[in-house]
Each structure stands twice: as C-alpha cells, then as structure tokens.
Amino acid sequence: MARDAYDAFPAARDIIQNSDEILGFRLSKLMFEGPDEELTATVNAQPAIFVASIAMLRCIELPADVAFAAGHSVGEYSALVAAEALSFQDGLRLVRERGRLMHEAGTDTPGGMLAVLGVDDAAIEEACASVAPLVACAANYNAPGQTIVSGEEAGLEAVSEELKARGAKRVLRLNVSAAFHSPVMASAAAKLRQAIEQVPVRAPRWPVVGNVSARPLTTEADIRQELAAQIAAPVRWEASVKAMLVGGATRFVEIGPGKVLTGLLKRIAPEAEALNVSDADSIRSWNAPPH
C-alpha cells in the first residue's frame, strides 16, 4: 500500500514516515507488510487510506483551476487536507480517532453492510423502513444501481430477504466490521464531535463537497458540522458528483489507493474525463511534461 510511491518519491516518503511519528507506531509497516487482518481493521485501515492518499497528493502539482474537492467517507478528510482546511497532522489524528470510535460502536452493536444491485433507491428505502424497528438503512448512494445498506445483524438479515422479494439482482455482504454510516454509529458521532472541536479548522482553499449534504462546504462551521454528522449519516456520493458537474466540473482526478471512485464516476457521468493517481507509475505520468 503506497510502497512504490514511498520508494520512488521523497515527498511520499516524508508523509509516511511522519505518520509513524505522529501516531507513535509503525503504520508504514502495516501498510507495506500487513498482515491483512490487522491492516483491514477499521482503526488501522482508515489512517492507512488517508496517509496513502496524502502521500500521493504531495507528489503531484495540482492544476491552478481546481474547482472542488470531495472524498468518499474517510476520503473526505483527505479532501479537506488537499483544500488546506485541515493540517495533515490534525487530519491523521482525527482519522485514527474516527476509526477507533467506529470500531468501538460496532463492537457494542454488531452489524455490517450490504451491496444492493438491481433495485432503485426508493425500493431500498422502502425495504429498510419495512423492517423497523430493526436498524437497516441506505448508507452509501454510490452510483445508479449501486447502493449500500448498513445496519445491525438482525436488520441486515430481514432487509436482505425483503430486497430479494422486491427484485434485487444481488445482495452481497461486504467485508466490513460494522454498520458504518447508520444510526449504530450515533455514539461514535457524538464522541467524534468533541475531538473535532479541539482541532483547528480553516475555510477551505476551494469548496469541499460534503458527503452528508452533497453541497459545497465553504466555512469552518460547515466543515465541523459535516465531520461530526458524517459517520452516522449516508454518503450521498452520486449527488455529490452531480453537484460538481452542475458547478462546471468536467475533469475528475482520483488520488489515492485504488480506482473505486473512478469506476463510480463512469457510471454517474460517463461523459466526464476521469484520471487516476494511485501508484508510482501514475504519479510519473501526471508529472511528465506534455509533448
């Protein structure tokens, strides 16, 4: 995870080594060597994704005409660092605490998440409502035809059967440890709010489109409210991308490990230009002078 960027670029190396110092343990060792079960634990996975993303960001020069930043779930913290609303150090500490609190909430109320394919959002919301008072809700509105449901174990079992009865093509259990972006995370959200209040936040250099509102965040107050609410609220990613399109964006660059958001963009706005910076080769391609 980001090892090739670490080896090739001093800027990436500085960020990753700095993260070890800030956290007080070798996150880099987990990123490079695993073991997978420890790296994928949410308390470690979230800071690892954040650090890898910022390491790659620091290796490239962003164009002068950036209109928006956005990030999916924990990626929103990377977007805020890119927009200079949060420092890297404060962002990393918050992400680590976010992961710890989400793990704690998930331990208190076991649950998980389901990927639902082939039914529209209205049918998913109706299915979730039908199993109340069991907890199941739409958690990630990712792209047309791809929505994630989150909830407690009993809620997931009940809503899975309900979704199949309503014509879902596939209902797949995701390899996550808890019911993220659902009311199960309410206790974590309340505790995270306290941590956020202790951290300096600035107005962003450019608007950051928030997961909760799918609208540009432009003030310190907007950002604090967003980060506190985000972990217990749905990620409105499709609406966020559409907000950026309405705002004039035509070119999107995904920076960080993987290409999931690039794939979602192709489903949301196939006409948009999609670029990806996810490893040393793509960093070199970005930095190469035009011919």
Structure tokens that stand for 95 in this block: 């992400």
Give ∠ CA 28-10-96 in degrees, rounded to 5.
Answer: 35
Q: 71: closest CA among 214, 174, 180?
A: 214
What is the residue-wise DSSP string for 123-165? HHHHHHHHTTTS-EEEEEEEETTEEEEEEEHHHHHHHHHHHHH
Distance CA 209, CA 275 (A): 19
Is 73 an annotated catalytic residue?
yes
- The rounded distance, in Å, linking the Cα atoms of 244 and 237 is 11
H or E element: which one contains 96? Answer: helix 88-108
Catalytic residue check, 278? no
Q: Name the catalytic one among 28, 78, 181, 240.
A: 181
Q: Name which of 178, 177, 220 is nearest 199 in CA terms.
A: 220
Helices (H) and strands (E) in the chain, counts: 14, 8
Catalytic residue among 19, 28, 53, 73: 73
Catalytically annotated residues:
73, 181
